[in-house]
Each structure stands twice: as C-alpha cells, then as structure tokens.
Structure 1
C-alpha cells in the first residue's frame, strides 16, 4: 500500500464562493459519511484537517506575502492522507468526495518515501 495526499481545493475567497455556504451545509453529512467510509475501509492514515483560508507565502528572497496564493481564488479546504494500492485506487476514492459536485477540486498525490 502507498500513502496518498488528498487535498480538497475550494473557492473560499471570491464574492460568490463555490461551494456556497448553503451547498457546504448540504454536503456536510455526505462528506462526513465519505470520510467515515474511508476510515471503515482502514484506508485513512491521518485525520482530516480543515485549513484556514488565510496564509502566508515565503519566497526564496525571504519576502513574506499574504497568501496562500493571492492570484488564485482556490484555497485548501481539507487535507488528509489515505492508503491505496496505486493512483487508480486513490483516484477512485477521491472521486467519492461529495463536494466535487459543488465546484471543489480534489487533488491526489502519492507520498514518496524519504531517501
């Protein structure tokens, strides 16, 4: 089994964010059920975390900018680790995220063990 990062990106900062607060409320129980199904399958490695929409970006020159990425409307709405056989299985798990139907994007990345 490999470990995969699941990052849920949502538009949280624009005038009309996607998903809207009403859509997020409607998706909350299905989202909780989705996470519970991952945990029940013994594929949840690290607990689900919500992240502040604010942040800072530090550049190579040492400059600190309000962030995370001011030029983008999307922020990380959730971040957790799962176990999966391969990318295909991890993507199938990610496809179950109910917030996708409201405009969220789910990013999947495989963890590379430290050398």
Structure 2
C-alpha cells in the first residue's frame, strides 16, 4: 500500500492551475500502473475524521490531530512481487515533486484474485 502523506499547514495549497497540472501527472502514473494490472484500489481521504483511543474507543477526538506535521491524504493499494517493486512504483509517484511523501507498507494476506 502506498500512503500519500501531505504536509499539513505547511505553506499555501496549490493554485487551481497547479492542481490541474498535478492531477494530470497523477493520471499518467495511475494509467501506467493500471496497464500493468498493479492497481487494486485508490482513494483520497477527507481531511476530517475521528481518532479512537482506549478500551472500546472510550476516548474519541476529532482527527487528524492538529499537531500533525503530515496527514495521510490518500492511498493506492497495488500488487507488487516484493517490497523493492513497490518502492519502484512509489518512486514514479509524481506527488514526490510536490512536497508529498509516499510511505510504502506491505498489506498482510493480500492474495491476487484469479483472472
């Protein structure tokens, strides 16, 4: 899984024209992985949510936490033969050119469906 970590409160957001350019690069990146059958799922995440802590989630606070320097703004679940292949997919992510970090994490027990 590729987690897209956006800087939080660090500078101005992209302008509409910059966002259009960024999304064009993302589209090409996703099309490349889709053409190889690597993409399982992808979604952006809303900047709001809840964080539960303690037994049975007794403590609930608004999240992501205001102290955070980064928030997970989206994810892409991919098929890769190993961690190195997943890292290579992540290296091609255009978000890296726009102050976004990409965290690569293996997903436990992710079997590829039969074709």
TM-score exceeds 0.5: yes
* Paired position in structure 1 for 2:113: none
In the TM superposition, residue 102 of structure 1 has moved relative to its aligned partner by 1.3
1:51 pairs with 2:45 = yes
- Aligned partners of 1:87 and 1:110 also within 8 Å: yes
- Name the Cα RMSD after superposition: 1.7
* Paired position in structure 2 for 1:103: 99
In the TM superposition, residue 111 of structure 1 has moved relative to its aligned partner by 1.1
In the TM superposition, residue 113 of structure 1 has moved relative to its aligned partner by 1.8
2-structure distance, mates of 1:14, 1:74: 8
Q: Give the secondary structure class of the aligned counterpart of 1:100.
A: helix
TM-score normalized by structure 2?
0.83
Greater Rg over alpha carbons, structure: 2
Deviation sequence 1:24-74 (CA, Å, 0-9, x none):
33211011110111111111112x201001111001151111112221132
Q: Give the secondary structure class of the aligned counterpart of 1:106.
A: strand
TM-score normalized by structure 1?
0.83
* Paired position in structure 1 for 2:14: 21
Aligned to 1:81, which of 77, 81, 87? Answer: 77
1:39 pairs with 2:26 = no
- Aligned partners of 1:51 and 1:78 also within 8 Å: yes
What stretches of structure 2 of length at least 5 have no aligned partner?
Answer: 111-115
1-structure distance, mates of 2:76, 2:98: 20
What stretches of structure 1 of length at least 5 have no aligned partner?
Answer: none
